[in-house]
């Protein structure tokens, strides 16, 4: 019922030329896979060229962030209306945004409302840090983040968006979470929070990805968990062969 979604978060990598080269190398293979949705999230400046290179394919494009205001005196920021037409998705609240740029659940919530206003689907990232994990606070942390991010959104909006569960200690470290453990956080804590805030149908509709050192070698183990609806991929999304293999492996397990 929930179509798996594998999204590549390129972070601050790739020039415009390199970004176009990467999508050209992947587009034929990715477009041939029906049962999995693929998304690439380049930097803002590469969005137009990447969108162009993917025109006419089923591969979706996402931004990595945006501001919530419509326009105005916000030096260095990008408005939601400027992204409309260039991409379908926008990652909101990635832990690197929270850690290095001071993003809060309240800000993520404003951005989620602004995204829907402009027809963009948020991919909302949540996850605990190592200390919280070791203190047994994971469920509480992700519940608080999910509750804060979804404030005031309608059932339909929540059912249509994507949540990425990304334990911070697993991001870029090569230490991926154990698939069964990630599936428990996703199925019990996150889907449970959505069910409490909305209802069971909404909780069953929302797609929830895993993120944090997911790669071609471990993706099948994550996708073997029915509660995990795909992955938000950093490092392994920067090479055509590994990203394509992740989407193919997902199709093999779930297609
Ligand atoms: P990683 O990053 O796959 O390089 O760990 C994931 C993410 O931050 O989205």
pLDDT single digits (tens) 119-176: 999 999 999 999 999 999 999 999 999 999 999 999 999 999 999 999 999 999 999 9
CATH of the domain at 129: 3.20.20.70
Ligand 1 atom closest to residue 233's alpha carbon, by position in its atom list: 3
Please state the rounded mean pLDDT for residues 48-73: 98
Q: What is the mean pLDDT of the chain?
A: 98
- 170 alpha carbon – ligand 1 mean position (Å): 8
Please enumerate in sequence order all residues whose Cβ is within 8 A of that of 17, keeping only pairs 6 or more positions apart, or say none.
none
> Where residue 240 falls among pLDDT bands split at 50, 70, 90?
very high
Q: List the catalytic residues.
A: 94, 166
Alpha-carbon span 31 to 39, nearest angstrom: 11
Domains contained in the chain, number: 1
What DSSP line would sit under 99-154, residue for residue? Answer: HHH---HHHHHHHHHHHHHTTPEEEEEE---HHHHHTT-HHHHHHHHHHHHHTT--
Residue 184, both tokens: 């428990």
Which of 96, 166, 238, when mutated, tests ligand 1's pocket best, judged by the most ligand atoms within 8 Å of its CB? Answer: 166
Residue nearest to atom 3 of ligand 1 (CA): 234
Q: Which domain holds residue 221?
A: 5-254
Q: Is the pLDDT of residue 102 over 90?
A: yes
Alpha-carbon span 182 to 188, nearest angstrom: 10
Residue nearest to atom 6 of ligand 1 (CA): 234
Which of 177, 235, 237, 246, when mutated, tests ligand 1's pocket best, judged by the most ligand atoms within 8 Å of its CB? Answer: 235
Q: Is the pLDDT of residue 89 over 90?
A: yes
Closest alpha carbon to 106 in 75, 152, 71, 140: 152
Do 41 and 10 meet the contact criterion of CB atoms below 8 Å apart? Answer: yes
Do 40 and 71 meet the contact criterion of CB atoms below 8 Å apart? Answer: no
Computed over its alpha carbons, how large is the radius of gyration of the chain?
17
């Amino acid at each position: 019922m929930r179509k798996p979604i594998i999204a590549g978060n390129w972070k601050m990598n790739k020039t415009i030329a390199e970004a176009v080269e990467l999508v050209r190398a992947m587009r034929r293979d990715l477009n041939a896979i029906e049962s999995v949705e693929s998304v690439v999230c380049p930097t803002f400046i590469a969005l137009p060229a990447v969108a162009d290179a993917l025109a006419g394919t089923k591969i979706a494009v996402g931004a990595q962030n945006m501001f919530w205001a419509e326009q105005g005196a916000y030096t260095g920021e990008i408005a939601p209306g400027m992204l409309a037409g260039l991409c379908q998705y926008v990652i909101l609240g990635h832990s690197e945004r929270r850690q290095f740029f001071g993003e809060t659940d309240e800000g993520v919530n404003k951005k989620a409302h602004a995204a829907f206003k402009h027809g963009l689907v948020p991919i909302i990232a949540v996850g605990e840090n190592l200390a919280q994990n070791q203190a047994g606070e994971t469920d509480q942390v992700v519940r608080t983040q999910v509750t804060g991010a979804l404030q005031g959104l309608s059932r339909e909006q929540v059912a249509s968006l994507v949540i990425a569960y990304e334990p911070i200690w697993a991001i870029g470290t090569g230490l991926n979470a154990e698939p069964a453990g990630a599936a428990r956080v996703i199925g019990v804590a996150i889907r449970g929070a959505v069910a409490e805030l909305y209802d069971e149908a909404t909780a069953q509709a929302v797609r929830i990805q895993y993120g944090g050192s997911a790669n071609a070698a471990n993706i099948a183990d994550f996708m073997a968990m029915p509660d995990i609806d795909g992955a938000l991929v950093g490092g392994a999304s920067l090479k055509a062969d590994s990203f394509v293999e992740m989407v193919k492996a997902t199709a093999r397990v779930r297609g």
